[in-house]
Amino acid sequence: MPDTRSRAEVFKGHRGQFETNRKRILASQEVCGICGRPVDKSLKYPHPMSATIDHIIPINQGGHPSDLANLQLAHFCCNRQKSDKLSGQRQFTKAPEVVSNRLLPQTFDWHTV
Ligand SMILES: [Zn+2]
């Protein structure tokens, strides 16, 4: 999978800037950018209400991996829900491709219904 590898390599190059901006956001932002409620920074991962850094536009949708403008404070649970929703949408658009009429039972007797 050369696609995912190159994306990981790109992210690695942005790691230093991401760390700097992560600290900047933790020091300057108080509320979750997804639900708008306060974030308790004393809670630690993997607590669902712990503080995480969310990519406003996901990296796999062309968002910048480390730019301060694309990062925001978010609850761990909100961040996870957001990515679940995005992957769910991808699955939904893929679904019609795998549906086949050949999966219908050929020997079913429709007259008995
Ligand atoms: Zn939240």
Domain extents in the chain: 2-82
Across the range 24-40, mean pLDDT stands at 97
Distance, CA 29 to ligand 1 centroid (Å)? 13
Is 39 in contact with 49 (CB distance < 8 Å)?
A: yes
The values of phi and psi at residue 107, to 5°, are -100, 10
The predicted pLDDT at position 94 comes to 47
Please, which residues have CB less than 5 A from ligand 1, an ion?
32, 34-35, 75, 78
The predicted pLDDT at position 9 comes to 63
The pTM (predicted TM-score) of the whole model is 0.66
The values of phi and psi at residue 71, to 5°, are -115, 145
